[in-house]
Structure 1
């Protein structure tokens, strides 16, 4: 191979290495963190207490009682009914679809006291904080409480039911328990290790908007550039290898027989 091609391969490999080297480093750091982390700990499962069960002898009214109240509001389509426990009290979680004037139907949730059948509003801040303390396995010192009505693609509570209360505890690792106000349930626990994981995952997937799109164009482009970088490195090794050049120089010349 002539010197021109040798220099072209070397220059291509050098420029590709500088351009994509930072992303290679981020991929490596992210991969190390992912492989050395326990996903159950990252998800905060070790900080969740199981839900308290309800007594089988508890007296409950029929779900038809709160359903009649919903019918008076114009609701005619029930999706499902669930019995949940909120602060040791039985609560019906009524999921229904409400038709609007523009022809669209929106899924909504209504809570009702399962002991009386009376409809009730969403959880108050005091109830959500008490529920978070009940379900949180760490110390119960609350640092702050926020009421969320909207989140963006970078929020740690993205794409989950709103409105919600974010109850942050001082220890461990600034754990935040998210309670869906209208559902009456704990949705997730987020800690500093999860936040690091989330940041590295965004850098790993190169999805800087929602984090979970592994088919985005930027990731595909860098994957191709990475393949070219590796390929040019192999090519550079072969064209600059002293052993290969020595073999080429020492290759015996063909003997020409003269008549």
Structure 2
């Protein structure tokens, strides 16, 4: 390629990629500057901040559970407050079972969800609003965690805790800085739908274009240095 062709390609590639390059710089800077643990809600909750309980072996054994639910998957025992429960997926749906009788238990009610949230919440704000979400998850949580209780806090960051309506365990903590981080991540990876696919075609095209812009710029810099006359030639 001639110098004119290289210069033309560099100009047009840079013109097309310039806006996305600025977006990458701005979003990358935000994500680097912010403490990831803060973004994940560490100041709001302490998952280890749970009471220690002494529980007896389940009266309803694993053998009994397998016999009653042969199609169950991901079976485990866990303690919610001072009671031992089974949790397992039946036909892909997470359910909670009594460790005494093996019966399926209902979803947590509002008071139980608030009690579970207060167990891990470390702040001083009050819970202002609670909503049971069984379908159509908000964009800030994945659908796979449903059903959940959405517990909104009355604080400056518009914080929200999500508690599993099945197990009573905290699913996630969200606040305005996380929401802004999520937008930055979306713009950075150029996945405007799921915000998860870092190998989408649009990102591939723009990153290739940005790479070509840089390579043509390097080529122009090399050509310009080669064209500078030496001191002997100037004399």
Q: Same fold (TM over 0.5)?
A: yes
Among 148, 161, 165, the residue aligned to 1:181: 165
Residue equivalent to 1:15: 12
Q: Distance in 2 between matches of 1:8 and 1:96?
A: 62
Is 1:223 the counterpart of 2:201 in the alignment?
no
Residue equivalent to 2:177: 193
Residue equivalent to 1:100: none
| Cα 1:182–1:7 shift into 2, 3 Å | same
Q: CA RMSD in A?
A: 3.1
Residue equivalent to 1:144: 129
**Displacement after TM superposition at 1:127 (Å):** 1.6
Q: Distance in 2 between matches of 1:124 and 1:27?
A: 44
Residue equivalent to 1:131: 116
Among 95, 112, 117, the residue aligned to 2:88: 95
Residue equivalent to 1:41: 38
Paired residue secondary structure (1:121): coil
Q: Distance in 2 between matches of 1:168 and 1:155?
A: 15
Paired residue secondary structure (2:229): helix
Is 1:212 the counterpart of 2:207 in the alignment?
no
| Cα 1:61–1:237 shift into 2, 3 Å | closer
Residue ranges of structure 1 left out of the alignment (5+ in a row) = 98-105, 253-259
What is the CA deviation profile of residues 83-137 of structure 1, one whole-angstrom value per residue up to 9, with x for unaligned ones? Answer: 222xx3314033143xxxxxxxx13333345577665311112221232122111
| Cα 1:83–1:209 shift into 2, 3 Å | same
**Displacement after TM superposition at 1:198 (Å):** 1.1
Report which of the two structures shows the higher radius of gyration computed on alpha carbons. 1
Q: Distance in 2 between matches of 1:55 and 1:107?
A: 30
TM-score, normalised with respect to structure 2:
0.83
Residue ranges of structure 2 left out of the alignment (5+ in a row) = none
Task: Give matches, 1:228-243, under 5 Å.
Answer: 228-241=212-225
Q: Distance in 1 between matches of 2:94 and 2:199?
A: 34
Give aligned pairs, total.
Answer: 232
Question: Which structure has more RCO (C-alpha within 8 Å, separation ≥ 6)?
Answer: 2
Among 41, 51, 56, the residue aligned to 1:53: 51
Residue equivalent to 1:101: none
Paired residue secondary structure (1:47): coil
